[in-house]
Structure 1
Amino acid sequence: MRPTATLDWTAICPLDRLDPDRGVAALVDGVQVALFRTGGELYAVDNLDPVGGAYVMSRGIVGSRKGMPTLASPLHKQVYDLRTGQCLDLPGVALRRHEARCRDGLVEVRLRQEQ
Structure 2
Amino acid sequence: MTVLREDVETTCWTPVCSYTDLLPERGACALVGDHQIALFRTFDGELFAVGNRDPFSGAQVLSRGIVGTRAGEPSVASPMHKQVFSLVTGVCMDDPEVVVPTYPVRIVGGAVEVGVR
TM-score norm. by structure 2 comes to 0.87
CA distance in 2 between partners of 1:30 and 1:50 (Å): 17
CA distance in 1 between partners of 2:30 and 2:45 (Å): 20
Deviations 1:49-93 (A, max 9, x none): 011100001000000012110100000000011000000101200
Matched with 1:64 is 69
Higher strand share: 1
Letter paired with 1:31: H
Match of 2:102 among 76, 81, 97: 97
Matched with 1:83 is 88
**Unpaired runs of at least 5, structure 2:** 1-10
Q: Which runs of 4+ in 1 moved over 4 A?
A: none
**Unpaired runs of at least 5, structure 1:** 1-6
* 1:11 and 2:25 matched: no
Count the aligned residue pairs: 106
Task: Using the aligned pairs only, state the percent identity.
Answer: 53
Report the CA distance between 1:30 and its aligned residue.
Answer: 1.3
Match of 1:27 among 31, 49, 52: 31
TM-score norm. by structure 1 comes to 0.88
